[in-house]
Chains A and B, each alone.
Chain A
Amino acid sequence: MIHARELTKHYPDLRHGRLVALDAISFDAAPGQIFGLLGPNGAGKTTALRILSTVLKPTSGTVTINGFDVVRQPAEVRRQIGFMSANTAVYDRMTAWEMVEHFGRLHGLAKEPLAERMRLIFDRLKMNEIRDLLGAKMSTGMKQKVSVARAIVHDPPVLIFDEATAGLDVLVARALLRTVAELRDQGKCILFSTHIMREAEKLCDRIAILHRGRILAEGTLGELRDRHREHDLEELFFRLISEHDERQETLGRESRTAGPLP
């Protein structure tokens, strides 16, 4: 469903000349599966998801979603995905109903079927009481519900959640994770980025640990535990990242002290 190959992204950067946000990462995500991108802040998760949602273009590498290339067929890709960005962004001067309806119409849904689907979604996400509330007056949890509704209103086969539970209280976060699990059970292919180990442990079928633009490890939770002989995901995560940083530091030191060849 999602196939990323050698995905690379560079940004121009004043401090470093260029910043390598993604360094040739590859992964696959299948339908009925939650693929977790686990990484600390600045690991490149948001960049990867922005490329998948066609908002950014990769410097090199390819990504196909449901058979469509994100660079060559961005319009088709956008019809296949529901994207929920890192911030709980909703329009301040639109009600919950208007907002979801607007994006449903942009996805080409006709008025009546759209209204029917929205009623279902609003019931399922328990959003009827905020139906006519303006975005500016919503709490973070309400905004997150609206964002989920907006992302799934056109019933896309692929859903991309970027730090979906960031800033949510435990109750709202749990409800959201339950919704994501239900969507997986409906056969959706879900890409879920997070830096919270417990979420990844509970929710994700496959996990890729991303750090400084590189995938350090990838597999099911069981595979990762077996491969690295570490039961606790948080410990595993910490160890992989520390080892990687130490390796990088050693390489940097060696290259600085080596000097020119005689």
Chain B
Amino acid sequence: MNWSNVRLILAREIRDQLRDRRTMFMIFIVPILTYPFLGMIGLGISQVAQQKPTRILVLGESHLPESPALIEGDRFAARLFRQPSMAKLLELHRGNQDSRSAVDEGSGNKAGPRRGSGAAPSRSAGFTETSARSAVEAGTYDAALIFPPDFGRRIDACRAAAQRRDQPPQVPKPKIIYTTAVERSQLACDRLRIVLERWSDEVARSFLAAAGAPEWSMTAVDVEAIDLAGETGYRGAAMWSKILPVLLILWSLVGAFYPAVDLCAGEKERGTLETLLSCPAARSEIVLGKLVTIMLFSSLTAVLNLLSVAATGPMMFSQLPGFGPPPALSPLWLGLALLPASALFSALSLALAAFARSTKEGQYYLMPLMAVTIPLAVLPAAGGLELTLGNSLIPVTGLVLLLRAALEGNYWQVVQFAVPVLAVTSGACVLAIRWAVEQFHSEAVLFREGERLEVRLWLHHLREDRGPTPTPAGAVFCGIVILMIHFFMSLHWAPPTDFGRFAVTVAVSQLVVILTPALLMTVVLTRSPRQTLLLQKPPWLALPAAVLLAIALHPAAHVLQKAVMHLYPLSDAMQEALAGLESLFAHVPWWQIVLVVALAPAICEELAFRGFIFTGMRNAGSPWRAIVVSAAFFGLTHGILQQALIACLIGVLLGWLAWRTNSLFPGMVFHLVHNALGVLVGRLPPWLETEWPSLSWLVRPAEGGGVAFAWPLVLAGIGIGLAILAFLARLAPSRLGPRETVLFGT
């Protein structure tokens, strides 16, 4: 790496960006103007929304008790509001429920006031409950309050009963009619509820007085809440800790994306990239220079936005409860989190922008990136998600949760989870940077030209120009098709009630969802099904080695499964569903279970994932990329996150087996034995107890269900497994190379 070249490219790119008006607007002007402007608009809107009176239609006013008074004159009683002046916000309109309605029910607005007709209280002509509903639906009134006949008399009777210490009569419920579809109606309902709750308290007090109980008995137990945040200087941290991390993530993404598009897609568009590539700077130096520039602008955008929020936020939100100034150490924590966040998004943006042909195309890629990032950033801030080891391993989410903990002053949590969060974020950064460097090495990406898409031509090309094995694009397409069919079929799957139905479900899933697309594509898109599906004879020792490997690694896989379940616990509903599934196997012969749970997936899934998809991805060059992509698709078809993670890891091993042996059969054997052991191992402890009692310590029933392997057995299994892997690694690597090798023999 020639650092002088990196410095030169960095200096040029910074100067170039600083001379770009659009970049300057995004980085300096937007943050300075946006938040004060948004604040002003928000406050204005909230003022208007809060102050505007809502129209309430009251039916059955004559059924109200004399005391305490709910309505005084033409308004609800002023004492029932937090401030008496707020009484005018509930505009009262009387409807006479007793007389038959003179209003057509379908157009109840004929007698009432129209929107914006003024605040004067009015007496509306006879309404029934039905016509009141219509009037609220039509928007003539924001809500209707209906007191049933006999309501006041029953209240009085209750009071009398309280006085006599008798059983009180039942009081019919008043009704509020409103619609959540209209915000004003919801607001009217909320206001009415507050007023009615206060009035209900007054009624209760009158009952207590009648019964001779003192009034303070209403508040006999008064709870004092002590807010430690106020003492420790973290008042308001709860709100800021939700807002600031999300802003940091979103603005570091946006701040990275626009310069990245200009520096890569823009350079392609202007034609200067070719000149740059022919100068002595290496591609990695060019990428690094651009990456640091993007990181700088990403960080600057995030910092300026956060400063602007910090300057305007406290002023705007000072009136809201729970909103204090941000914690004093916020700048430190935000600064520390900014580096990994901007590095990650800069690398991702650079890789995406390098792929784009023009700035216009580059900007299209912002939405998908946002669509992935926003849920990862916003969901933890929305609450309910705590910083655990499992969550800390999710990119972006882990960082947001860690930053939240730091802002809330939970330093012990920060100490506990800083390492996994930073490790995952750094890993994601490294992968994104590698992707970006790869993009700059790819001729297909750098000199990609627009090609008119003609479906007829494309189909013709697929048929006529097909190679012996699928293309990487074909492999990815197959994976996506399998996932799509899997998703839509899973919407219609009901939990099986017996083993027969379970077997049918598995068969349909394996044959229709997984095997059929792969086989169809093999026939249509390739010239050599045998080569595509790796239906080739493996080295003869590979088959017994695969059986032994599956047996040896099973205890370790079991421990891994437990660890994943501990990190990401299953929901109660899911646990129940799985327990129900296991109960189906209780009285089924073992060979039937192996047939359904082990043999069918071993054949179908291996043909699809290690056959079509792995072979197709091998044509992209790197065998490891093929292994990882095929394993990812394999994992994703397992639905539940916990199962998907484990399946993905097993998929890596199966892909490696396919690569080393150049055959599907060792993987099939491994898959068969692994799945069979997974289901049958539960039957092992009782069997050992009766047949080999001296060995029963090796596999015991676990406390929370299932089985537990003794650690010496796990470690021995890992040792044997590594030895078998070393043996398999010494076999000749796959003879199947990239597609070009097959086509042109170069």
A positions within 8 Å CB-CB of B: 10, 12, 14-18, 50, 53-57, 59-60, 75, 78-79, 81, 83, 85, 87-94, 98, 102-103, 105-108, 147, 150
Given A17-B465, A106-B8: A55 and B277 within 8 A (CB)?
yes
**Does more than half of chain B's interface fall in helix, strand or loop, or is it mixed?**
helix
List residues 1-43 of chain B with CB under 8 A from any CB of chain A: 4-5, 8-9, 12, 15-16, 19-20
B positions within 8 Å CB-CB of A: 4-5, 8-9, 12, 15-16, 19-20, 270-272, 274-275, 277-282, 443-444, 447, 451, 457-458, 461, 464-465, 743-744, 746
Could you say which of B19, B280, B443 contacts A93, with CB atoms under 8 Å apart?
Answer: B19
Given A10-B744, A17-B465, A75-B280: A56 and B443 within 8 A (CB)?
yes
Contact A14 B19, beta carbon cutoff 8 Å: no
Contact A83 B451, beta carbon cutoff 8 Å: no
Give every chain A residue within 8 A of B465 (Cβ-Cβ).
16-17
Beyond contacts A12-B444, A89-B272, A103-B279: 4 other A-B pairs, Cβ-Cβ < 8 A, are A56-B443, A59-B744, A79-B280, A103-B275
A246 to chain B, nearest CB (A): 26
Could you say which of A15, A57, A79 contacts B457, with CB atoms under 8 Å apart?
Answer: A15
Q: Once the chains are docked, how many angstroms separate the CA of A57 from the CA of B277? A: 12
Give every chain B residue within 8 A of A89 (Cβ-Cβ).
270-272, 274-275
Contact A94 B443, beta carbon cutoff 8 Å: no
Give every chain B residue within 8 A of A106 (Cβ-Cβ).
5, 8-9, 279-281
Give every chain A residue within 8 A of B280 (Cβ-Cβ).
75, 78-79, 106-108
A66 to chain B, nearest CB (A): 14
Give every chain B residue within 8 A of A90 (Cβ-Cβ).
272
Give every chain B residue within 8 A of A107 (Cβ-Cβ).
279-280
Given A93-B16, A94-B16: A14 and B458 within 8 A (CB)?
yes
Contact A60 B272, beta carbon cutoff 8 Å: no
Give every chain B residue within 8 A of A53 (Cβ-Cβ).
278
Contact A102 B12, beta carbon cutoff 8 Å: yes
Pairs A-B, 7 closest by C-beta atoms? A89-B271, A17-B465, A87-B271, A93-B19, A53-B278, A83-B278, A89-B272
Given A14-B458, A87-B271: A56 and B447 within 8 A (CB)?
yes
Give every chain A residue within 8 A of B16 (Cβ-Cβ).
91, 93-94
Contact A78 B279, beta carbon cutoff 8 Å: yes
Q: Once the chains are docked, how many angstroms separate the CA of A29 from the CA of B4? A: 33
Chain B: which residue is nearest A10 at the CB level?
B744
Q: Once the chains are docked, how many angstroms separate the CA of A81 from the CA of B278? A: 9
A160 to chain B, nearest CB (A): 8
Give every chain B residue within 8 A of A57 (Cβ-Cβ).
443
Chain B: which residue is nearest A94 at the CB level?
B16
Contact B746 A59, beta carbon cutoff 8 Å: yes
Could you say which of B20, B271, B461 contacts A15, with CB atoms under 8 Å apart?
Answer: B461
B258 to chain A, nearest CB (A): 15
Q: Once the chains are docked, how many angstroms separate the CA of A56 from the CA of B441? A: 9
A258 to chain B, nearest CB (A): 19
Could you say which of B5, B12, B274, B458 contacts A50, with CB atoms under 8 Å apart?
Answer: B274
Contact A14 B275, beta carbon cutoff 8 Å: no
Contact B8 A105, beta carbon cutoff 8 Å: yes
Chain A: which residue is nearest B11 at the CB level?
A102
Give every chain A residue within 8 A of B444 (Cβ-Cβ).
12
25 pairs from A and B in contact (CB 8 Å cutoff): A14-B451, A14-B457, A16-B465, A17-B461, A54-B277, A75-B280, A78-B278, A83-B278, A85-B274, A87-B271, A89-B270, A89-B272, A89-B274, A89-B275, A90-B272, A91-B270, A91-B272, A93-B16, A93-B20, A94-B16, A102-B12, A106-B9, A107-B279, A107-B280, A150-B275
Interface centre among A15, A50, A81, A87 (most CB of B within 10 A): A15
Interface centre among A17, A90, A93 (most CB of B within 10 A): A93
Q: Once the chains are docked, how many angstroms separate the CA of A14 from the CA of B286? A: 31
Q: Once the chains are docked, how many angstroms separate the CA of A91 from the CA of B275? A: 10
Chain A: which residue is nearest B464 at the CB level?
A17
A255 to chain B, nearest CB (A): 15
Give every chain B residue within 8 A of A59 (Cβ-Cβ).
744, 746
Chain A: which residue is nearest B5 at the CB level?
A106
Q: Once the chains are docked, how many angstroms separate the CA of A140 from the CA of B365? A: 32
Interface centre among B275, B281, B457 (most CB of A within 10 A): B275
Q: Once the chains are docked, how many angstroms separate the CA of A93 from the CA of B461? A: 43
Give every chain B residue within 8 A of A15 (Cβ-Cβ).
457, 461
Give every chain A residue within 8 A of B8 (Cβ-Cβ).
102, 105-106
Given A94-B12, A106-B279: A85 and B458 within 8 A (CB)?
no
B737 to chain A, nearest CB (A): 15
Could you say which of A60, A85, A92, A108 contacts B275, with CB atoms under 8 Å apart?
Answer: A85
B386 to chain A, nearest CB (A): 48
Chain A: which residue is nearest B746 at the CB level?
A60
B497 to chain A, nearest CB (A): 51
A201 to chain B, nearest CB (A): 28
A7 to chain B, nearest CB (A): 13
Contact B12 A55, beta carbon cutoff 8 Å: no
Contact B277 A14, beta carbon cutoff 8 Å: no
Q: Once the chains are docked, how many angstroms separate the CA of A238 from the CA of B279? A: 36
Chain A: which residue is nearest B739 at the CB level?
A12
Interface centre among B279, B444, B451, B465 (most CB of A within 10 A): B279
Give every chain A residue within 8 A of B279 (Cβ-Cβ).
78, 103, 106-107
Chain A: which residue is nearest B447 at the CB level?
A56
Q: Once the chains are docked, how many angstroms separate the CA of A94 from the CA of B20? A: 11
Give every chain A residue within 8 A of B274 (Cβ-Cβ).
50, 55, 85, 89
Q: Once the chains are docked, how many angstroms separate the CA of A93 from the CA of B18? A: 9
Chain B: which residue is nearest A53 at the CB level?
B278
A110 to chain B, nearest CB (A): 11
Contact A54 B278, beta carbon cutoff 8 Å: yes
Chain A: which residue is nearest B451 at the CB level?
A14
Q: Once the chains are docked, how many angstroms separate the CA of A43 from the CA of B181? A: 66
Q: Once the chains are docked, how many angstroms separate the CA of A10 from the CA of B12? A: 35
Give every chain A residue within 8 A of B9 (Cβ-Cβ).
106
Q: Once the chains are docked, how many angstroms separate the CA of A105 from the CA of B274? A: 18
Give every chain B residue within 8 A of A79 (Cβ-Cβ).
280
Chain A: which residue is nearest B452 at the CB level?
A14
Give every chain A residue within 8 A of B275 (Cβ-Cβ).
83, 85, 89, 103, 147, 150
Contact B271 A85, beta carbon cutoff 8 Å: yes
Give every chain A residue within 8 A of B746 (Cβ-Cβ).
59-60
A163 to chain B, nearest CB (A): 12
Give every chain B residue within 8 A of A54 (Cβ-Cβ).
277-278
Q: Once the chains are docked, how many angstroms separate the CA of A17 from the CA of B460? A: 10
Q: Once the chains are docked, how many angstroms separate the CA of A219 from the CA of B443? A: 32
Contact B461 A14, beta carbon cutoff 8 Å: yes
Q: Once the chains are docked, how many angstroms separate the CA of A98 from the CA of B16? A: 11
Q: Once the chains are docked, how many angstroms separate the CA of A90 from the CA of B271? A: 8
Chain B: which residue is nearest A16 at the CB level?
B465
Give every chain B residue within 8 A of A14 (Cβ-Cβ).
451, 457-458, 461
Give every chain B residue within 8 A of A56 (Cβ-Cβ).
443, 447
B244 to chain A, nearest CB (A): 34
A57 to chain B, nearest CB (A): 7
B655 to chain A, nearest CB (A): 25
Give every chain B residue within 8 A of A93 (Cβ-Cβ).
15-16, 19-20
Give every chain B residue within 8 A of A85 (Cβ-Cβ).
271, 274-275, 278
Q: Once the chains are docked, how many angstroms separate the CA of A81 from the CA of B274? A: 14
Q: Once the chains are docked, how many angstroms separate the CA of A88 from the CA of B271? A: 8
Give every chain B residue within 8 A of A10 (Cβ-Cβ).
744
Q: Once the chains are docked, how many angstroms separate the CA of A221 from the CA of B170? A: 115
B742 to chain A, nearest CB (A): 13
Chain A: which residue is nearest B466 at the CB level?
A17
Give every chain B residue within 8 A of A94 (Cβ-Cβ).
12, 15-16
Q: Once the chains are docked, how many angstroms separate the CA of A78 from the CA of B19? A: 29
Q: Once the chains are docked, how many angstroms separate the CA of A50 from the CA of B281? A: 16
Give every chain A residue within 8 A of B457 (Cβ-Cβ).
14-15
Chain B: which residue is nearest A13 at the CB level?
B451
A260 to chain B, nearest CB (A): 18
Give every chain B residue within 8 A of A108 (Cβ-Cβ).
4, 280
Interface centre among A16, A85, A90, A106 (most CB of B within 10 A): A106
Give every chain A residue within 8 A of B5 (Cβ-Cβ).
106
